[in-house]
Amino acid sequence: MQISILDGYAGNPGDLSWDRLQELATCHIYDRTLPHQVVERAAGHEMLLTNKVAITAQHMDLLPQLRYIGVLATGYNIVDVEAAHSRGIVVTNVPAYSTASVAQLAIAHLLNICCQVQHYTLEARQGVWSHSHDFSYTSTPVMELAGKTMGIVGLGQIGSTVARMALALGMRVQALTSKGADALPTGIEKCPTLHELLTTSHVVSLHCPLTADNRHMIDAEALALMRPDAILLNTSRGPLVDENALAEALRKRHILAAGIDVMENEPPCPDNPLLALDNCYITPHIGWASTEARQRLMDTTVANVAAYLQGCPINVV
């Protein structure tokens, strides 16, 4: 049995091991694969693994031996799942491996914006504090979160974890979710509409999957509803936010700040307007990338492949 791993570098840049997977099958591991290289690299293989390399119906037609596609992520929109099912190809993903890490990063963005950790660290390094006349030096406001309202869009595993963290910080938490109010964990209020959530939240944190219906759900109209002291967090999917509209809102200080880990195009174009704004805090899609999360990703991937080879696939989408 042969497996082609099309883009293994992001998940394993060298600090983890492919050994357990290689015990199951012969692995052909590529750091990165361009679209035109997919067929060449997967030809003759029954199985392939992909993180962000798209696998289309056209690819499947040119790979008649393909019987298994393992997505090295939770989201599987990069695979034409309908086409795979119609061809008898099993598709699996890796659910929930990065919940703690993504939630942690969302709160890290929030705390950095409120406490200005990055700003003050840089100023201290530059000697600004050393030349201060007072023991405590401030050049920009510091914000307390206790008593403020966190609005969470999507109350899955990550959204629920962020909610618990926000509650621990003393925040009021409301959520836009399909779950009934009586099914929500203690302390979380159900918000009936996105409109109400945007107008009443000091912090809006996105934790929903990307669908055709919610692309650019945070657009100019939505941003206009938010408080001028509001913070937008997006550690979910880049296209949930209209980046040009967000840049305009931040530039004109219609909202206070944004903390984002995902963008519409990754990596972003160098002229993306968000990159130049001092109230937009951007990390390069690292929420999933802690060592611990990537090890869980690797462990579940091995389990998925082993289960498929045993004839009882798991985590099938």
Which H helix or E strand runs over 113? helix 99-115
Average pLDDT over residues 275-296: 98
Average pLDDT over residues 51-63: 98
pLDDT band of residue 285 (cuts 50, 70, 90) is very high
The tens digit of pLDDT for each residue in 118-133 reads 999 999 999 999 999 9
What's residue 243's pLDDT? 98
What's residue 314's pLDDT? 98
Chain-wide mean pLDDT for the chain? Answer: 97
What's residue 307's pLDDT? 98
What's residue 149's pLDDT? 98
Query: How many residues in the chain?
Result: 317
Q: Are 242 and 219 in contact (CB under 8 A)?
A: yes
What's residue 180's pLDDT? 94
The tens digit of pLDDT for each residue in 89-110 reads 999 999 999 999 999 999 999 9
What's residue 84's pLDDT? 98
What's residue 5's pLDDT? 98
Average pLDDT over residues 30-53: 97
What's residue 28's pLDDT? 97
CA–CA distances in Å: residue 39 to residues 35, 84, 230: 8, 15, 47
What's residue 12's pLDDT? 97
Same fold flag, 2-93+292-309 and 99-278: yes
pLDDT band of residue 213 (cuts 50, 70, 90) is very high
**Residue 146, burial from CB neighbour count under 10 angstroms (0-12, 13-18, 19+):** exposed
The tens digit of pLDDT for each residue in 166-206 reads 999 999 999 999 999 999 999 999 999 999 999 999 999 99
Q: Identify the three-state secondary structure at position 228.
A: coil
pLDDT band of residue 239 (cuts 50, 70, 90) is very high
Q: Are strands 149-153 and 68-71 parallel, antiparallel or unpaired?
A: unpaired
What's residue 200's pLDDT? 98
The tens digit of pLDDT for each residue in 112-168 reads 999 999 999 999 999 999 999 999 999 999 999 999 999 999 999 999 999 999 999
Q: Please name the fold of domain 99-278.
A: Rossmann fold (3.40.50)
Average pLDDT over residues 240-269: 98
What's the predicted TM-score (pTM) here? Answer: 0.94
Q: Identify the three-state secondary structure at position 246.
A: helix
Q: Where are the domains of the chain?
A: 2-93+292-309, 99-278
Average pLDDT over residues 289-308: 98
What's residue 313's pLDDT? 98
What type of residue is 65? Q
Active site (catalytic) residues: 237, 266, 285
CA–CA distances in Å: residue 261 to residues 55, 172, 231: 24, 24, 14
What's residue 137's pLDDT? 94
Selected from 3.20.20.80, 3.40.50.720, 1.20.1250.10, 3.10.180.10, the CATH number assigned to the domain covering 2-93+292-309 reads 3.40.50.720
